[in-house]
Structure 1
Amino acid sequence: TYQAGVLAYQQVKEDYPDFDLRIVDSQNASLGMALMAREAIQMKADGFSLDEIEERIQFMVKHVVSLFTVQDLNYLAEGGRLSKSSAFLGGLLNIHPLLEVVDGKLEPKEKLRGRKKVLNRMYKRLELEAKNIEKQTILIVHTNETETVKEMKDHLHDTLKPANIIDYPIGAVISAHTGMGTIGIFYMNDYE
């Protein structure tokens, strides 16, 4: 967490007073943080100063969009993010939530009927919001959804033509809270 990073930095600073490090609260999760880390690593390799890297990452904190959907609402109910009755009814009605990380918190944005509709809404958000998509790397995270991810990548390559699309499996900790069938997509709504 951000607080743990601050505490660790303070301890290191006691022994190494000249050590310069910047800690940024990503206000994000999963591959939203990875987009920022990838950018910082590339900027460092390209010779940018620590101040320039920090400024860029602070910009990204405000502009990284992290969208998720889950297949099984019962996992959200077990984690306390949804009532058990809502999970039951949502399952009966084939409801798929569109979730977004906003200011570090996972918020429900929409409830759509059917997996295809929620994925199409993710595409539409990406299409409407992503600036300079042809320069961006889009990240996709999933719980063993290789077929769906292949379809997503094909669709995005054919329609929006981002610079790159990379997919990663969700780790065990997050997938234990979201269940199989979870998919997330990460991009920037402003890209310089």
Structure 2
Amino acid sequence: MPKVILSADSTCDLSEEWIEKYKVQIQPLHIILDGKDYRDSIDIKPDDIFSTYEKEGKLPQTAAPNIAEYMNHFKKWTDKGYEVIHISLGSSLSSAYQNSCIAAEELGHVYPIDSGNLSTGMGLLVIEAGDRIGQGMEAKDIRDDIIALKEKVNTSFIIDKLTYLHEGGRCTAIEAFSANLLNIRPSIEVDNASGKMNVGKKYRGNTAKVLKRYGADRLSKHKDTVINRIIITHSGTAPENITLLKNVIEETATCKEIHVMRAGCTISSHCGPNTLGLMYLSH
């Protein structure tokens, strides 16, 4: 069986259970808050970010690992005769993929993959790669399979408040104020062709009403197919919101597995608390 190691940026947002199952080697992104550099979800947690913002009005910047960091990360395995499959945060959102490619070219035996996605949207690709490693596939063939799967990833989420997006420079003060005032909650969708994030349908109303409509809108188009795995990803929310979204999935789609995962610091610092999303692979 080929010696293949699975690696991913911390933005895959997989739970410890899944990381351990597939022995995923995580390369953390940087969270820079109040002049200090932290490793995503290792030295700092999302609730630390939310607490700092509530108390001090400060939000972090996020940064990709540099080339040297990727070199050191990969070299631990290539020096032992392994080939490395590395799945990165989408290149439209970060320089992580570009940096990993430069390191891979220098070392050899490393196969970087641009997920074209974020959070558990890229996490789904990590899981698929892990399954193929378990089947004994060659690294090059795994890379080709995962690249082909990118266009099947469905990633979307509902933003509770636009405050964090505004503070991070991703929407104007007027947009944020108007949405918050009118209780409008936009859905954000990842274009799996370009990897860019787009504003989808805008919902108005309380959390329960919005989540029901959002879930039904996303999944009703798949009612005649079976979805193998749906991940509900959140940035910290009330348990009843997760239960509600699970119920919507069970009522709307035929799904073999439903999993719940919490977004890490990189994603949470941009979307803020109480964000929820659905990620799955369509046929």
Q: Name the aligned partner's letter for residue 30 of structure 1.
A: S
Backbone CA RMSD of aligned residues: 1.9
Q: Given that residues 140 and 167 in structure 1 are in contact (C-alpha distance below 8 angstroms), is that contact kept between their aligned partners in structure 2?
A: yes
1:16 match: none
1:142 match: 234
CA 1:40–1:130 in 2, change beyond 3 Å: closer, same or farther? Answer: farther
Give 3-state SS (helix, strand or coil) of 2:244's partner: helix
Alpha-carbon distance between aligned partners in 2 of 1:130 and 1:3, rounded to the nearest angstrom: 38
Q: Name the aligned partner's letter for residue 143 of structure 2.
A: E
2:116 match: 27
Match of 1:66 among 130, 150, 155: 155
TM-score normalised to structure 2 length: 0.60
> Is 1:128 matched with 2:221?
yes
1:106 match: 197
Deviation string 1:84-105 (CA, Å, 9 cap, x unpaired) is 1111111111100011112222
Report how far residue 175 of structure 1 moved: 1.4
Q: Given that residues 229 and 280 in structure 2 are in contact (C-alpha distance below 8 angstroms), is that contact kept between their aligned partners in structure 1?
A: yes
> Is 1:167 matched with 2:260?
yes
Deviation string 1:59-87 (CA, Å, 9 cap, x unpaired) is 22111011011111111111122111111
Alpha-carbon distance between aligned partners in 2 of 1:34 and 1:110, rounded to the nearest angstrom: 24
Larger helix proportion of the pair: 1
TM-score normalised to structure 1 length: 0.86
2:44 match: none
CA 1:118–1:110 in 2, change beyond 3 Å: closer, same or farther? Answer: farther
Match of 2:126 among 37, 42, 45: 37
Give 3-state SS (helix, strand or coil) of 1:164's partner: strand
The number of residue pairs the alignment matches comes to: 183
Give 3-state SS (helix, strand or coil) of 1:174's partner: helix
> Is 1:3 matched with 2:95?
no
Q: Which runs of 5+ in 2 are unaligned?
A: 1-95
Deviation string 1:149-190 (CA, Å, 9 cap, x unpaired) is 122113313442311111111112321221111011101232
Larger strand proportion of the pair: 2
Question: RCO (CA 8 Å, sep 6+): is it higher in 1 or 2?
Answer: 1
Deviation string 1:20-68 (CA, Å, 9 cap, x unpaired) is x322211100101110010010111022333432232112211101101
Give 3-state SS (helix, strand or coil) of 1:22's partner: strand
1:50 match: 139
Moved more, 43-52 or 170-179: 43-52
Give 3-state SS (helix, strand or coil) of 2:171's partner: coil
